[in-house]
Amino acid sequence: MLQQTQVATVTPYYDRFLKQFKDLKTLAEASSQKVLKAWEGLGYYARARNLHRAAGIVLKEHGDAIPSHWDEFRRLPGVGDYIAAAVLSLAFGKPYPVVDGNVKRVLARLLAIKEPVNKASSAKKFRELADPLLDEKIPGTFNQAMMELGAVVCKPRQPLCNGCPVRKFCSAYQADTVLNYPVKLKKPASPQYRIAVGVVFKKDRVLITRRKPSGLLGGLWEFPGGKIEKGEGPEAACIREIKEETNLVIQVDWQLSRVRHAYTHFKIVMDVFCCSFVSGRVRLKGPVDHRWIHIDQVDDFPFPKANHKFFDELRKYALK
Ligand code: SF4
């Protein structure tokens, strides 16, 4: 949960998750929809899907004992070098250095490293730098100390060098060049896409569709729609997308909302329309499942955060 996400955001999710899935077996045997629902709003849903799959593999291949050998643990879905090093050093005392964003910043300053920290190949370079520093007797404690040093002392913009326990060995501090590190490559500006989405009413029910299990927001439910093409109006895009995805002919009645949402690599502006079913039978192309639900059932399904941004308006309209 903590990958790309702050502790304050994660804590309530973590507590609820452990209450709901009290052990590995419970998690492994839960439905994917239940796991995604518990993750709803936390983003990066591949983490939830991978964790769920990993629990299934561990249960099947190792009983309910988490494998403590690098190769076996590293093979699990969603486990990269960072997660493997973190879990194996913290939980099993294995001598692997953990290199996250905070640790990279500490190392870059401590050793005056000019390698950009956001370059794809930098993880390997920083792991090699961290390796000789690792205290092999207490690798878990060492790794936590390094991460904590980065999080609370060696902060990105205002490092607290005067109270820093390693300032005597810190190259950047000694050379008075602390804020020159870490070096970062400039990121290209993230593109913005226009999206049109339809809440299609058929009597007192609305249509929701489920995204394919892999990829962005994989396995989540949503209201159908898609990207507005060049030169196309949002209403026309809504009608076209719904026809292409579900085979239904609909009419756009009025605009419910305009939602802005930022993902890691792009932003969306989403026009949401209330629509009426006109004709046709659902035949899906893209989505893998669909339901006609009553509005007060939306909480039973995991939806992306961007959809949640118009739920209050939708409830107000549909349940009035
Ligand atoms: Fe970071 Fe300053 Fe400590 Fe160096 S002395 S590690 S720059 S907080």
Cα 112 to ligand 1 centroid, rounded to whole Å: 11
Average pLDDT for residues 56-64, to the nearest whole number? 92
Ligand 1, atom nearest to 164 Cα: 3
Q: Tell the residue nearest (CA) to atom 4 of ligand 1.
A: 170
CA distances, 145 to each of 45, 92, 106, 201 (Å): 29, 17, 11, 55
Tell me what the pLDDT averaged over the chain comes to: 95
- The predicted structure's pLDDT at residue 218: 92
Which residues does ligand 1 sit against, CB inside 6 Å?
Answer: 106, 109-110, 153-154, 159-161, 164, 166-167, 170, 172-173, 178
In the block, which residue shows the tokens 């995604």? 36
pLDDT at 77: 96
* Closest ligand 1 atom number to CA of residue 165: 3
| Residue whose CB lies within 8 A of the most ligand 1 atoms, among 148, 154, 180, for a mutation test | 154
Q: Note the Cα 93 to chain centre separation in Å.
A: 28
Pair 227, 266: CB distance under 8 Å: no
Q: How far apart are CA 291 and CA 281, in angstroms?
A: 12
Which pLDDT tens digit goes with each residue over 224-279? 999 999 999 999 999 999 999 999 999 999 999 999 999 988 999 999 999 999 99
Q: Is the pLDDT of residue 64 over 90?
A: no
Q: From CA 13, how far away is CA 220, in angstroms rounded?
A: 17
Amino acid 3: pLDDT: 82
| Residues whose CB falls within 8 Å of the CB of residue 153, separated by 6 or more in sequence, listed in order | 159, 160, 163, 164, 165
Residue 320 pLDDT > 80: no
pLDDT level of residue 2 (50, 70, 90 thresholds): confident
* Phi, psi torsion values for 232, nearest 5 degrees: -100, 145
User: With bands split at pLDDT 50, 70 and 90, how would you rate the model's confidence at 123?
Assistant: confident
